[in-house]
Every structure is written in C-alpha cells, then in structure tokens.
Amino acid sequence: MKFGGTSMAGTERIRRVAGIVKRQQEAGHEVAVVVSAMAGETDRLVTFCREANALYDRAEYDVVVAAGEQVTAGLLALHLQALGCKARSWLGWQLPVRTDDAHAAARIEDIESGALLASMAAGEIAVIPGFQGLDPQARVTTLGRGGSDTSAVAVAAAVHADRCDIYTDVDGVYTTDPRIVAKARKLKYVTYEEMLELASVGSKVLQTRSVSLAMKEGVRVQVLSSFIDESAPPADSIPGTMIVSDEELEGTDMERQLITGIAADKNEAKVTLTRVPDRPGAVAAIFGPLAEANINVDMIIQNIAKDKGETDVTFTCPQADLARTQALIEERKEAIGYYRMIADSKVAKVSVVGVGMRSHAGVASTMFKALADRGINIQAISTSEIKVSVLIDADEVELAVRVLHTAYELDAA
C-alpha cells in the first residue's frame, strides 16, 4: 500500500491511513506500506536547498529532501502501534534500497527483502519511506519528484506482492487531470503502455518510472482514493483504476477509445540557441554535456540553415534543471559557437495519448485545429507512436486541455 503526500498531511490523516492499513491486515494480508512526505514538505525542503545555492550539490540536496519521508514513516508506525498493530519503520538505507548514484533522480537497482519478509511474516507491518535510496558509496539518494510511487512498486516486486495499491487524493486515473477538467472521466482500466506515456508527459498521478518498473516486473498496480470512509470495504473491492496489460484489457468489456487521455506539464522550460554553426558535431556539443549531467532534454527543434551555414536550435528541459543547463551551455559558448541563449520558463507542454493513434490518421490535425480555433499558438511539436505533444504559453494550458478534451469527445455526459 502506498500513501501520497495529501493522504499523510497531518495527524488526523495519518490516523485515518493507519485505520485503512489495519483493515487490510485484518482481512488476512501481510502488509508493507510506503509513504510520502506530508503534502508541501518536499517543496519546502527544495526551497531551502535553492536558497543555499542555486547550483546546489545534488548529493546534499538528497540528504535534505529525503528527510520528509523519514518523518511520516515514523509517524505512521506510531499511529499503527496506537491502534494495537505491530509495526516498524525501515528507512531506505536500512533495508537497503540500492540505487545508482544519479543524485536527485536515482534509479533503484535492488531492494534487499530478507529482513523485511521475515518481519512481515511475524505479523509486523513494514512502514517504508518512499523516495529514498542508498548509492554504491553508501550516500543517501532520492528517486526524483513523485518517486514514492516507484519505491512502492519496487517494494511490491521485491516481496512478490499480490498487488500494489497506490492510494492518493483522487479515486483513480482519469482521462485528464480531474482538477482541471470537471468533465474528466474515470478509467476502469488503463494499459501499462498508455499509463507510461501519460505519466511521461506530465500526468503526475503516477511517476513514470513506477509504471515502467511495474510493466517490467509484472506488478499489478491499482490507483485508488485514500479519502474513503474508514468502514469502507477493503481495497480488493474498491473500484479504483487497474493498470493492465494489453492482453488483460482484451478480456474486459472496455471499448477501446482512440484517445485515452490528455496530460499537461508546466514544469518544462524552453531554451533557444541562436546562430549555431550548421556542421557535424554542433548539436553533440550542446547535448553531450547535458546528458552527462543527467539533464533530461525532451523536445528538440533544429531549423534548416538559412544563410551563412547557421541555424537556431530550440529544446526543452525540466524547469528545475534550467539554471544548471544554462550554466553548462554558457561554459561551452566557444566550443558550441552559438550567438545568444534565450530561456523561457513560461511554457507548458500539452499531450494527447492513445494506442488508437497507431491505426488512425488525423489525430494530430484535430489537435492543431482545435487549438487554432481558440487562438492558441504552438511553439514546438513532438510525436511518438501513441502521443502528440505541443509546447504552448503556460497561461493557456488549462484552456488547451479543456478544448482538447472536448475535441476528442472525452467529456463525461
């Protein structure tokens, strides 16, 4: 069972969570619980790091931000004990959750499950702070924002759990963020592949890596609400959203829609380098150092050279990495040979996702037309087999999502 930040925000809510966990145990299950920091806490800790140094050392950042989850893990164990359950916490370094050394975005390599399984078999509820890991040099790591989802799936895989229930503040995965579009519809099932794509383009209900890990390890994941009344039936019969394989979906009564969902991401920034020499090696000189610094570049646009063998290169990266990106490029101004760097963080990416795109033409043009009809300008476009993304002005993102939700006939009746 995994509980997100809103579900863990304060004594009353943690007490309710303890009640939900206890009921699962009473239903005959052995339970491991993964918890997030209280809502807003990680943001607060990140701000302290930024205030200390805009180009903060990521290893020390991890030491700071991993603290939020330590608090809630201890507190949930205390609340469970108060309800008469046997419970103990297992911090990331105690299990340990082994990761690589990509600080602030570490990848889980392995979770040692021996002691955990023994304790669970003895009737103890295991409470594990999400987000935390330990690198090969025995330094604390964190898994990237939203990483507790990935911790939960990794723990579920390590203990061969029957299911991984992700309890959050909405009761499932919707066609788009139900906080933006009131007419969003809840999906009973969504395939790993579609969920992976939705997550990767900004649908933060699940962290992207949690979905790829679940897909790889065959973990059954359910998304459901923790805001249920305490006498509600156990999770086995709560109608959340199940993440299923393509084959499983075939076996259900679900009608396949052309578009599964729409997602928005306001955390991207756009960087343009003007007058980059149009010669072999120029883009490698830009993106090589960013890759080495673990900065995830998303959209990339290079125009054809107009004159003098020079061209503009535009790309997007996470806003959190913008200062670092600018510094890395600035340092290499001569080697790259660009004229000016222009950064803009007032952008947002809106994406439509659906496996139906594979066999249907016209999905992208519907999107472009719907946005054009509302006067929304597109600054960049990227596509994959089952997704079309556009970059627009951040102020227009909510309108764009609503317009597209209607254009693809996803609105609930």
Enumerate binding residues for Mg ion (CB under 5 A). 4, 146
What six digits make up the tokens of 290? 């960013």
Please answer whether residues 127 and 182 qualify as being in contact, where contact means their C-beta atoms are separated by less than 8 angstroms: no
* Spatial distance between the Cα atoms of 92 and 219, rounded to a whole number of angstroms: 21
Residue 141 found at the interface with ligand ADP (CB under 6 A):
no
To ligand ADP, the closest distance from the beta carbon of 13 in angstroms equals 11
Residue 36 found at the interface with ligand ASP (CB under 6 A):
yes
* Spatial distance between the Cα atoms of 220 and 383, rounded to a whole number of angstroms: 28
Selection from Mg ion, ligand ASP, ligand ADP, none that 130 binds (CB < 5 to 8 A by kind) is ligand ASP
The radius of gyration computed from the CA coordinates of the chain, to the nearest angstrom, equals 22
To ligand ADP, the closest distance from the beta carbon of 158 in angstroms equals 20
Selection from ligand ADP, ligand ASP, Mg ion, none that 170 binds (CB < 5 to 8 A by kind) is ligand ADP
Give the torsion through C-alpha atoms of 40, 44, 45, 50, to 10 deg. Answer: 140
Query: Considering beta carbons, is residue 24 or 132 the nearer one to ligand ASP?
Result: 132
To ligand ADP, the closest distance from the beta carbon of 322 in angstroms equals 22
* Spatial distance between the Cα atoms of 55 and 299, rounded to a whole number of angstroms: 24
Query: Considering beta carbons, is residue 149 or 268 the nearer one to ligand ASP?
Result: 149
Residue 146 found at the interface with ligand ADP (CB under 6 A):
yes
Residue 347 found at the interface with ligand ADP (CB under 6 A):
no
Residue 177 found at the interface with ligand ADP (CB under 6 A):
yes
E strand or H helix at 158? helix 148-158
Query: Considering beta carbons, is residue 171 or 312 the nearer one to ligand ADP?
Result: 171
* Spatial distance between the Cα atoms of 37 and 2, rounded to a whole number of angstroms: 12
Residue 178 found at the interface with ligand ASP (CB under 6 A):
no
Residue 197 found at the interface with ligand ADP (CB under 6 A):
no
To ligand ADP, the closest distance from the beta carbon of 208 in angstroms equals 12
> Contact with ligand ADP (CB under 6 A): which of 107, 204, 266, 332?
204
> Contact with ligand ADP (CB under 6 A): which of 42, 99, 142, 203?
203
CA nearest neighbour of 102 among 56, 64, 133: 133
Please answer whether residues 110 and 99 qualify as being in contact, where contact means their C-beta atoms are separated by less than 8 angstroms: no
Peptide bond into 234 cis (omega under 30): no
Residue 92 found at the interface with ligand ADP (CB under 6 A):
no
Query: Strand, coil or helix: what is 266?
Result: coil
Please answer whether residues 370 and 284 qualify as being in contact, where contact means their C-beta atoms are separated by less than 8 angstroms: no
* Spatial distance between the Cα atoms of 99 and 111, rounded to a whole number of angstroms: 9
> Contact with ligand ADP (CB under 6 A): which of 61, 90, 131, 174?
174
Instruction: Give Cα 25 to chain centroid, integer Å.
Output: 29
Cβ neighbours for 154, distance < 8 A, ≥ 6 positions apart: 97, 108, 111, 213
Q: Print the binding letters for residues 110-149 with ligand ASP: x by CB under 6 A, - otherwise.
A: --------------------xx-------------xxxxx
Question: What phi and psi values does residue 297 have, to the nearest 5 degrees?
Answer: -90, 140
To ligand ADP, the closest distance from the beta carbon of 176 in angstroms equals 5
Neighbours of 293 (CB within 10 A): 13
Residue 173 found at the interface with ligand ADP (CB under 6 A):
yes
Query: Considering beta carbons, is residue 119 or 207 the nearer one to ligand ADP?
Result: 207
To ligand ADP, the closest distance from the beta carbon of 67 in angstroms equals 17
Residue 5 found at the interface with ligand ASP (CB under 6 A):
yes
Please answer whether residues 1 and 167 qualify as being in contact, where contact means their C-beta atoms are separated by less than 8 angstroms: yes
Q: How many residues bind ligand ASP (CB under 6 A)?
A: 13
Residue 5 found at the interface with ligand ADP (CB under 6 A):
yes
Residue 72 found at the interface with ligand ASP (CB under 6 A):
no
Selection from Mg ion, ligand ADP, ligand ASP, none that 6 binds (CB < 5 to 8 A by kind) is ligand ADP
Residue 36 found at the interface with ligand ADP (CB under 6 A):
yes
CA nearest neighbour of 172 among 203, 151, 144: 203
To ligand ADP, the closest distance from the beta carbon of 107 in angstroms equals 19
Residue 7 found at the interface with ligand ASP (CB under 6 A):
no
> HSE on the CB side for 166, CA within 13 Å?
30
Please answer whether residues 204 and 270 qualify as being in contact, where contact means their C-beta atoms are separated by less than 8 angstroms: no
| Site of interaction with ligand ADP (CB under 6 A) | 4-6, 36, 146, 168-170, 173-174, 176-179, 203-205, 261
